[in-house]
Every structure is written in structure tokens, then in C-alpha cells.
């Protein structure tokens, strides 16, 4: 499948998502569509909460696993948007994930937290709790980021995030 797509000079990618991108609203805000997806498990990683941030981080941790989903058919331009969105806090790596609907293993790209020794990581991040308390604002912030990305002088996602959450009367985040 990837071969045929690559012939046109436009590759498609599988991307494993595990945090805010599990929410269709956030994906739609960024990509203007909801790609096909499959539930998946990433073994050997843990999903942490981050102090002062509402989104999670994953890092390799033995005998742990992260449940998420694989977005299929992500195009190069869409991957560029996701790269900009994940910004310098994350590093894009290739991982092996297990698809839950057929237990096949597949390779996917995943955004792993850049700072392996970050003291701000703790506990475990809870998607359902996030969905209930944060999703609506986060989708708005993501839409703002996406519109801004079209501008020649676009802000980084971190800058968009920080100004959005400060103007929202939320507690100011550490610079």
C-alpha cells in the first residue's frame, strides 16, 4: 500500500497517538479531517502526566504499555502539521505497535518526550479525565495554532499553548 502511494512522491504514514490526538475534535482542528484509525498498544512505554501542562508525555519504561490508536494514511503535509504541533518538546521516532483489532504488529511514527530526565513527569495521564475537563479548550487552542500556522510569522505550538492558557485566566505556566 505504501509503495503505490510513494510512487506519486507523496508518502503516507501511520502515526501512533496517545494523548490529546485521541480526541477527534483536536485531530479535526489540525488536519481538517478525521483519518481512519485502529486501536493499538505500544509496549515498553509509559504515559506520564506533566506538571504545568494538560497533555501527556511518553517515554520508554520496561514492562509498561500505552494504549492509543494509529492514525492511518497521514500525508506528508499533515505530518508537517503534526511535527510543528508537537514542537521541540517531542521527538518523532518509529515504533512497533500492536493493532488491537487483529493483533498484527505494525510500524508507526510516535512523538516521544524529548527530555528523558524531565523532573516534571509524574504518575499516569488519564484521557477520560482530560476529555471531561480540558478537551474543549484544547481543541480551540489547536484550531488557533492551525490557523496561525498558515501565517508567514507563525508562532510555535508552545507559544500558542502558553498564550492561550494565560489569556484564558488559567494559572500562568512557567516560561
Question: Per-residue pLDDT tens for 132-153?
Answer: 999 999 999 999 999 999 888 8
Query: Was domain 2-167 assigned CATH 2.40.30.10?
Result: no
Cα-flanking dihedrals φ and ψ of residue 91, to 5°? -120, 135
Give the pLDDT of residue 154. 82
Contact 111, 92 (CB under 8 A): yes
Question: Per-residue pLDDT tens for 15-28?
Answer: 999 999 999 999 99
| Residues of the chain scoring pLDDT < 50 | 1-8, 172, 175
Give the pLDDT of residue 4. 43
Q: Is 86 an annotated catalytic residue?
A: yes
* Dihedral of alpha carbons 116, 55, 49, 103, sign: negative
Of these residues, 62, 78, 84, 86, which one is catalytic? 86
3-state secondary structure of 103: coil
Residues sharing a CB contact under 8 Å with residue 128, sequence separation 6 or more, in sequence order: none
Give the pLDDT of residue 152. 83
Amino acid at each position: 500500500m505504501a509503495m503505490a502511494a510513494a510512487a506519486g512522491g507523496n508518502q503516507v504514514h501511520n502515526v501512533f497517538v496517545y494523548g490529546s490526538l485521541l480526541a477527534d475534535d483536536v485531530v479535526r482542528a489540525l488536519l481538517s479531517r478525521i483519518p481512519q484509525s485502529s486501536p493499538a498498544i505500544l509496549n515498553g512505554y509509559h504515559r506520564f502526566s506533566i506538571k504545568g501542562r494538560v497533555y501527556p508525555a511518553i517515554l520508554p519504561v520496561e514492562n509498561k504499555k500505552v494504549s492509543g490508536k494509529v492514525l492511518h494514511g497521514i500525508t506528508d503535509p499533515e505530518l508537517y502539521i503534526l511535527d510543528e504541533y508537537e514542537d521541540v518538546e517531542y521527538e518523532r521516532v518509529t515504533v512497533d505497535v500492536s493493532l488491537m483489532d487483529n493483533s498484527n504488529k505494525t510500524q508507526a511514527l510516535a512523538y516521544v518526550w524529548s527530555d528523558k530526565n524531565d523532573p516534571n513527569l509524574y504518575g499516569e495521564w488519564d484521557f477520560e479525565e482530560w476529555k471531561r475537563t480540558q478537551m474543549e479548550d484544547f481543541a480551540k487552542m489547536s484550531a488557533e495554532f492551525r490557523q496561525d500556522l498558515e501565517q508567514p510569522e507563525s508562532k510555535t505550538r508552545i507559544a500558542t499553548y502558553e498564550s492561550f492558557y494565560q489569556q484564558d485566566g488559567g494559572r500562568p505556566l512557567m516560561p
